[in-house]
Amino acid sequence: MPQAIKPAIARIWRGRTTAAMADTYEAYLYEVGIKPLIAKAMGVQHLREDRDGETEFVTISYWESIPAMSRFTGGDPTRIHHLERDAEFLIELPKSVQILKLRHSHGNTGGDA
C-alpha cells in the first residue's frame, strides 16, 4: 500500500485590520483568498485574534514541498498574493510570509469551528 503524502512545509500569512472592518474583511478574505487556497494546498487553517481596536488574521497553508508551494505562488514561495481589496481593509499590506519546515505533527488540528 503506498504511503500517503504528508505536509512538509507550512506557509504563514498575517494581516491586521481595524476592529470595525474585521467581520467584513473576514468574509471577503474567506471568499476571495481562502477558498482558492483550499483548492491548491494540502490543508489550510484560518485564524483570528480580536484585540483592542484591531484584529489580526493568520492563514496557515500546508504543502508537500517548496516546489509545490512555488507552483502556487508563481515562482517565489515568499511572494505575497495581495487580494484586490486588501489595501482597502488592511492597516498595512504584509511584505512577506513565513515559511517553516514541519518537523512533527500529532492529532487532529483541522475542522470547522
Domain boundaries along the sequence of the chain: 9-101
Percentages helix, strand, coil for the chain (3-state, rounded to 5) are 30, 30, 40
What is the per-residue pLDDT for 68?
85
**What residues are paired with 11 via a beta bridge?**
61, 99
Pairing mode, if any, of strands 98-101 and 9-18? antiparallel
pLDDT, residue 69, reads: 84
Half-sphere exposure of 4 (CA within 13 A, CB side): 3
Second-level CATH architecture of 9-101:
2-Layer Sandwich (3.30)
**Top-confidence residue, 1 or 47:** 47
pLDDT of the residue at 20:
97
Is pTM beyond 0.85 here?
Answer: yes
